[in-house]
Structure 1
Amino acid sequence: MSEEEPKSAFSNDGAEAMTRGVAVGDESAVTPEDMETFFELSRCTNAVANHPGNKIALQFPDELLHYGVTVTEELKSRTGKEFYLLADTTFGSCCVDEVAAEHVDADVVIHFGNSCLSRTSRLPALYVFGKYPLDQQALLEYVTKLAEEDASEVHVLFDVRYQHHQSAVEAAAERYSHVHVVGVDAAFTSAEPAPAIPHSHRSGDSNDGDDGEEQHKPRRPQQPPRFGRYDPSFTNEAASGHRFLFVGAPTSRLLMNHMLYFSQSTFFTFDPATGAGRQETARVNRQLMKRYFLIQKAKDAGTVGLVVGTLGSADYKGVTDRLRTMLRACGKKDYTLLVGKINPAKLANFDEIDIYCLVACPEHSLIDSAEFYRPVITPYELELACAPAREWGGFLESDFRQLVPMIDEDLNALLDGDGDDEREPHFSLISNAYIDHSDRKQELVRTDRGEIVARDDNTTLAQYGGGFLQTRTYQGLQQRLGETEVSKAIQGRTGVPIQYDEEPDTSTHDGGDKA
Structure 2
Amino acid sequence: MDLGANYEIDRTAEFILSRNFTRVALQFPDELLKDSTRVVRALRDQLRLLRKCGTEQSGDNNKDIRFFVMADTTYGSCCVDEVGALHADAECVVHYGHTCLSPTTTLPAFFVFGKASINVSNCVENLSNYALTNGKSIVVLYGLEYAHSIKHIREALLEASRLSESKSELEVLFADVKCPVMNPSDDHKNSNGLVGPASDCTDHSTFGTAPANNYSIGGLTWSIPDGQRMEDYLLFWIGSDNSAFANVVLTFNGCDIVRCDATESCLVTDVSQQKRILKRRYYLVEKAKDANIIGILVGTLGVAGYLHMIHQMKELITAAGKKAYTLVMGKPNPAKLANFPECDVFIFVSCAQTALLESKEYLAPVITPFEAMLAFDRGSQWTGAYVLEFRDLINSCPLKVRNGSEEARFSFFHGGYVEDFDLQEENGGEDNEGTLALANATEKVLQLRDNPKSLIKGTAKSGPEYFAARSYQESFAKRKNGYEPHEGIMTKLEKQVHGKQCMLLRTGKSIFSESPPGF
Q: Determine if the TM-score, normalized by the shorter chain, exceeds 0.5.
A: yes
Match of 2:238 among 247, 263, 266: 247
Instruction: Give the secondary-structure state (helix, strand or coil) at the position aligned to 2:393.
Output: helix
Aligned to 2:173: 180
Q: Structure 2 CA distance, aligned partners of 1:72 and 1:384? A: 47
Determine the structure 2 residue equivalent to 1:480: none
Query: Which segment drifts farther, 328-337 or 257-266?
Result: 257-266
Residue 457 (structure 1) shift: 13
Q: Deviations 1:94-139 (Å, cap 9, x if unpaired)? A: 1111111000110000000000121111111000011111111111
Conserved? CA contact 2:295–2:343, under 8 Å: yes
Aligned partner of 1:436 in structure 2 is 419
Q: Which residue of 164, 167, 182 corresponds with 1:194?
A: 182
Show the 5 A alignment for 1:87-102: 87-102=71-86
In the alignment, structure 2 segments of 5+ residues that lack a partner are 48-63, 162-168, 197-215, 442-461, 475-519
Distance (whole Å) between structure 2 residues aligned to residue 69 and residue 260 of structure 1: 38
Structure with the larger RCO, 1 or 2 (CA within 8 Å, 6+ apart): 1
- Give the alignment's TM-score, normalised by structure 1: 0.72
Per the alignment, residue 350 of structure 1 pairs with 340
C-alpha separation in 2, matches of 1:198 and 1:344: 39
Aligned 1:378-457 pairs, distance under 5 A? 378-407=368-397, 410-411=398-399, 414=400, 420=403, 423-440=406-423
Cα deviation digits, residues 421-474 of structure 1 (max 9, x gap): 995321111111222224246999xxxxxxxxx987999998734444444566
Q: 1:13-69 CA distances to partner (integer Å, 9 max, x unpaired)? A: xxxxxxxxxxxxxxxxxx3xx011000001001000011321000001111101101
Q: Percent identity?
A: 31
Per-residue deviation at 1:180? 0.8
Change (3 A) 1:118 1:197: farther
- Alpha-carbon offset, residue 268 of structure 1: 1.1
Deviation at 1:322?
0.4
State the alpha-carbon separation in 2 of the partners of residues 51 and 372 from structure 1: 45
| CA offsets 1:371-421 (integer angstroms, 9 cap, x no match) | 1111111111001112224211224221111111323xx22xx25xxx749
Unaligned runs of 5+ in 1: 1-30, 200-218, 445-453, 476-515
Match of 2:295 in 1: 305
Question: AA paired with 1:85?
Answer: V
Q: Which of 247, 250, 256 matches 2:246?
A: 256
- C-alpha change, 1:232 and 1:328, in structure 2 (3 Å) is farther
* 2:489 equivalent in structure 1: none
Q: Which amino acid aligns with 1:196?
A: P
Corresponding residue for residue 314 of structure 1: 304
From the superposition, tell whether residues 469 and 292 of structure 1 become closer, same or farther in structure 2 (CA, over 3 Å).
same
Partner of 2:67: 83
CA distance in 2, matches of 1:93, 1:387: 32
More helix by share: 2
How far the C-alpha of 1:169 sits from its partner, in A, is: 2.5
Which residue does 2:125 correspond to in 1? 141
Where 2:271 maps in the other structure, the secondary structure is: coil
More off after superposition, 86-95 vs 104-113? 86-95
Indicate if the aligned counterparts of 1:329 and 1:443 stay in contact, CA closer than 8 A. no
CA drift of 1:314 comes to: 1.2
* 1:138-194 deviation per Cα after TM superposition (whole angstroms, max 9, x unaligned): 1122222122223312111111111111112333455656211112223x3xxxx31
- The 8 Å contact of residues 197 and 314 in structure 1, kept in 2 or not, is answered as no
- Structure 1's 423 and 144: CA in aligned 2 closer, same or farther, altered over 3 A? farther
TM-score (ref. length: structure 2): 0.71
The alignment partner of 1:405 has SS state of: coil
Q: How many residues align?
A: 403
1:72 corresponds to 2:18: no
Q: C-alpha separation between the residues in 2 aligned to 1:359 and 1:239?
A: 27
For residues 72 and 28 of structure 2, the distance between their equivalents in structure 1, rounded to whole angstroms, comes to: 9
CA, structure 1 residues 288+423, in 2 after alignment: closer, same or farther (shift >3 Å)?
Answer: farther
Q: How many angstroms apart in 1 are the aligned matches of 2:425 and 2:109?
A: 40
Task: Give the AA of the match of 2:256.
Answer: T
CA deviation string 1:309-360 (max 9, x = no partner): 1111111111111011110001111111111111111101101100111111
